[in-house]
Amino acid sequence: MSLTDIARRLRIETSTVYRKLDQFTFKEHYDKLPAVMSWDEFGFKKGEIAFVAQNYETNKLITILDNRAQTTIRNYFLKYPLKVRKKVRFITMDISGAYMPLARMLFTNAKIIIDCFHIIQHLGRAFLKTRIAIMNQFDKKSLPYRALKNHWRLFQKDSRKLSCKSFHSKTFGQTLSPHEFVKKTLNFSEELANYYNLYQLLLFHFQEKREDEFFE
């Protein structure tokens, strides 16, 4: 989430969020850490990414560091004695794994858990890029291109959660349900249909907590 998003939610100016964040200071105590932490990052200033650590169970902030450099994160957590760091049991983070080696070095007893949100986000982005790449193989005025572009959100959704209500599709010039629209569009590309079916299968395994099948 960017600071602009935070400002929009709070209905204040983005500059106010920047100012308050600059004024904010943590009461640092290095004698305790939660058993379960979450590590993440967010856009702090234009072109800059901040690091945030918090208690996973209570959402209480542990720290916000003004950059995500490994050295910065390491130096911060090394302020905690080893006996305190050894009490951390789990750390959740995004799927990129950029923080994994550092987390394992600092917290030798902690297990690394990929945050569910980031897994779904990564999966969705991967399919989105695939759909765009295949869409761009068609002429921009063609029916396949327009179908893939105009209702792209339908392809990103879990197919089990698509609405049953029909709508008038200007693209096809007829009334279709979301399922029918997706099916007709996938007929334009066998390659995309295969990727879509794989994407939906992975979503299904993930939502049903079938870990073995998901990572197979």
| C-alpha–C-alpha distance, residues 171 and 3, integer Å | 37
What the block records as the tokens of 91 is 């750390």
CATH entry 3.30.420 includes domain 3-114:
yes
Q: What are phi and psi of 36, to 5 degrees?
A: -125, 120
pTM for the full predicted model: 0.55
CATH 3.30.420 in the chain is located at 3-114
Report the percent of the chain where pLDDT is more than 70: 80
Percent of the chain whose pLDDT exceeds 90: 51
> Which residues 6+ apart lie within 8 Å of 28 measured at CB?
79
pLDDT digits (tens, 9 = 90+) for 145-159: 999 999 999 999 999
- The residue ranges of DSSP E strands in 18-159, in sequence order, are 36-45, 48-55, 61-65, 90-93, 111-114
Q: Would you say residue 167 has pLDDT above 90?
A: yes
144 vs 117, which has greater pLDDT?
A: 144
